[in-house]
A and B are shown apart, each in its own frame.
Chain A
Amino acid sequence: MSRNGPLALIFHAAFVIFMLAPIVVVCAVAFTPEGYLSFPTHGLSLRWFRAIADYPEFIHAFWLSIGLGALSATIALAVSVPAALAIARHRFVGRGLATTLFMSPLMIPNVVLGIAFLRFFSEIGVGGSFTGLVLAHIIFVFPYALRLTLASATGMDRAIEQAAISLGASEWTILRRITVPLILPGLVSGWTLAFIQSFDEVTMTVFVAAPGTQTLPVRMFLYIQDNIDPLVTSVSACVIAITATALIALDRLYGLERLLSGHAGTRDRE
């Protein structure tokens, strides 16, 4: 394999600058002493980080997003495992249709999902509630959970299960001691991706959330619609710092390339 030439490296450098520039700018502006949004900034100050403390809505929204992501990813994963086993191991009538249905939230624009949930939840009386948010997010993250559980259930060597049966293991033991440990990497990836998707989602959630149940991205989006002060940049800088820390930890523990290479693949249609 030949090395990249100088032209390729210049292109690559420009690409990296393009990808990082807006993120770096947001973090730089977070340290501005001014009372308005502008770049470049003059001087350094932590006033906008201190200002977060005076604005508990952001902190509340952050914890709500964490709880919502964890809960919806867990429920979506729990429901997706039996479905993945059915799709991976059985050929049944309606298998293709069921798979298409489970993957369909990827095809449906988030704005359509948001509208559909807004109408439906207000009719059944959970409009604007946390329950509504969880239901909406379970559907939204389900394809990510299913894709990765399905991939590991399909790739599993079934001879190991058959060996366990021939040695007299009960079905419960096989599930607990063989099947789940073997598909565990897929479950971890699926849960992580589902959590990330839920944590970042703004379009659908903006329709479903009420003032008391706004997630962090929704709170940020609505804040910059009405205000032009740098508070959102300091909040973003904090989230970026937390995300970067989590990424480095995940990379060390698990290998990020492996964890996220399913990211684009999950949006791939079959």
Chain B
Amino acid sequence: MREATQETRATRRLAPAAVPWLLSLPALLLFAAVLVIPLIMTILLSFHDWSQYGGIKPVLILKNWREIWSDPYYAEMFLRTFRIAALVTLVTALVGAPEAYILNRMRPPWRGLFVLVLLGPLLISVVARTLGWALLFGGRTGVVNAALINLHLIASPIPFMFTETGIVVALVHVLMPFMVLAVWTALQRLDPQIENAAASLGAGHLTILRRVILPQVVPGMLSGGIIVFALAASAFATPAIIGGRRLKVAATLAYDEFLNTLNWPLGAAVAVLLLVVLVAIVVTANRLTERRYAEVLG
């Protein structure tokens, strides 16, 4: 006990500036050793040379980057990755925002029950959820296609496996909770009395929606959209199961280069490019939304 007191006296004598550094030292050391160094090694790896029989040569050349730049296969693949991510973001916003609004107007115990329905899937492996979609749409016998044909909504089955449609549907399901929660968080800050005030001043339903609710929901949709976009662009398991070898996105291509072709330097270059583009998009989007809403909120 006396030793402990002396020790605390010793820490008290330390310059106050050192205390926060000492407290965060374990975390800083951990991150420097296990995150910063591996990331730097990956960036270096993307400049290394590789050949089928010679393996990896630790030189610094632009071969992989030139290949990505000049071969239209990579441009097409990155375009597909970001097209899928943009579509997923759009659909989750259009469906998730109204659902968050409905959820917010529910009373207990219904609200708690449906929050469970919404959050539950987050805890179930992406692999199982994607498999479920493959089973629902799978082939000619898939129940969704059969139902749509019986309702005369479509003439022939919608192709699902190995298509972008399939990847988008499954990713919308996987990422929907993030959008609903983001919009819901924004709605909870909204005072319900404002709606009543607008109604008592004679505003119609549409006017309230357009002039009162929507402006408050949009920041939530934007912050949810950034999360969904980033997660969709870097998604791996869903595009791997539904797209297979035929329809590759950035993450599945990098996986193939690493674990099948064994061209690690090229795989590293694809991954680093994905990281850089994604960070640039997310940071820009964050800046833009912050600036815009800083003006609005004053």
A188 to B92, CA, bound (A): 30
Least CB separation from B253: chain A residue? A111
| Interface core residue of B24, B129, B132, B237 (most chain A CB under 10 Å) | B24
Tell me if A226 counts as interface (CB < 8 A to partner B): no
Taking a contact as CB atoms under 8 Å apart, the answer to whether A102 and B27 are in contact is yes
- B124 interface residue, CB < 8 Å from A? yes
The yes or no answer to B112 lying at the interface (CB within 8 A) is: yes
Let me know if B143 and A40 touch, CB within 8 A: yes
Q: Which of A49-57, A155-163, A179-187, A198-206 contacts B (4 or more CB under 8 A)?
A: A198-206
**Are B8 and A119 neighbours in the complex by a CB distance under 8 Å?**
no
Q: Which residues of B contact A102 (CB under 8 A)?
A: 27, 31
Chain A neighbourhood of B182, CB < 8 A = 264, 268
Please determine whether A170 and B34 come into contact, CB atoms closer than 8 angstroms: no
Residue B42 is within 8 A (CB to CB) of chain A in the complex: yes
Interface residues on chain A, number (Cβ under 8 Å): 93
Whether the pair A4, B106 counts as a contact (CB closer than 8 A) is yes
CB of B214 within 8 A of chain A? no
Contact for B254 among A22, A115, A142, CB less than 8 A: A115
| Docked-complex contact A256 and B119, CB < 8 angstroms | yes
Q: B141 — which chain A residues lie within 8 A by C-beta? A: 38-39
Q: Known: A23-B128, A232-B127. Is A263-B181 also a contact (CB below 8 A)?
A: yes
Task: List CB contacts (< 8 Å) of A94-143 with chain B.
Answer: 95, 98, 101-102, 104-105, 107-112, 115-120, 123, 135-136, 138-139, 142
> How far, in angstroms, from A90 to B230 measured CA to CA in the complex?
32
User: Contacts of A63 on B, CB cut-off 8 Å?
Assistant: none
Query: Does A247 belong to the interface (CB within 8 Å)?
Result: yes
Whether the Cβ atoms of A111 and B125 lie closer than 8 Å is no
Contact between B251 and A111, CB atoms less than 8 A apart:
yes
Instruction: Establish whether residues A112 and B27, one from each chain, have CB atoms under 8 Å apart when the complex forms.
Output: no
Asked, given contacts A111-B236, A221-B240, whether A19 binds B173 with beta carbons under 8 Å apart, the answer is yes
Known: A138-B34, A203-B251, A264-B178. A3 touches B127 (CB 8 A): no
Q: Is the beta-carbon distance between B282 and A26 smaller than 8 angstroms?
A: no
Task: State the Cβ distance, A198 to closest chain B Cβ, in Å.
Answer: 12
B50 at interface by CB-CB < 8 Å: no
Q: Assess whether A247 is in contact with B129, with CB atoms less than 8 Å apart.
A: no
Q: Report if B64 contacts A (CB, 8 A).
A: no
A16 to B102, CA, bound (A): 12
A232 to B241, CA, bound (A): 13
Contacts of A23 in B (CB 8 A): 120-121, 124, 128-129, 132
Question: Are A110 and B236 closer than 8 Å at their CB atoms?
Answer: yes
- Which chain A positions have C-beta within 8 A of B4? 170, 172
> In the complex, what residues of B have CB within 8 A of residue A221's CB?
127, 237, 240-241
Query: Is A116 touching B236 in the complex (CB atoms < 8 A)?
Result: no
Chain A residues, Cβ within 8 Å of B47: none
Question: Closest approach, in angstroms, between the C-beta of B169 and any C-beta of chain A?
Answer: 9
**Residue-wise interface mask of B (276-297) relative to A, using a CB-CB cutoff of 8 A (1 in contact, 0 not):** 0011001000100000000000
Query: Cβ of B162 < 8 Å from any Cβ of A?
Result: no
- State whether A139 touches B236 (Cβ < 8 A): no
Q: In the bound complex, what is the Cα–Cα distance between A119 and B41 (angstroms)?
A: 8
Question: What 0/1 pattern do residues 226 to 245 of A give for CB contact below 8 A with B?
Answer: 00000011001001100110
Given contacts A102-B27, A112-B39, list 20 more A-B pairs with CB under 8 A. Answer: A9-B102, A16-B117, A20-B117, A23-B120, A37-B138, A38-B135, A98-B28, A108-B275, A109-B234, A111-B254, A111-B255, A172-B4, A196-B122, A202-B237, A206-B236, A217-B126, A243-B124, A264-B177, A265-B181, A268-B223
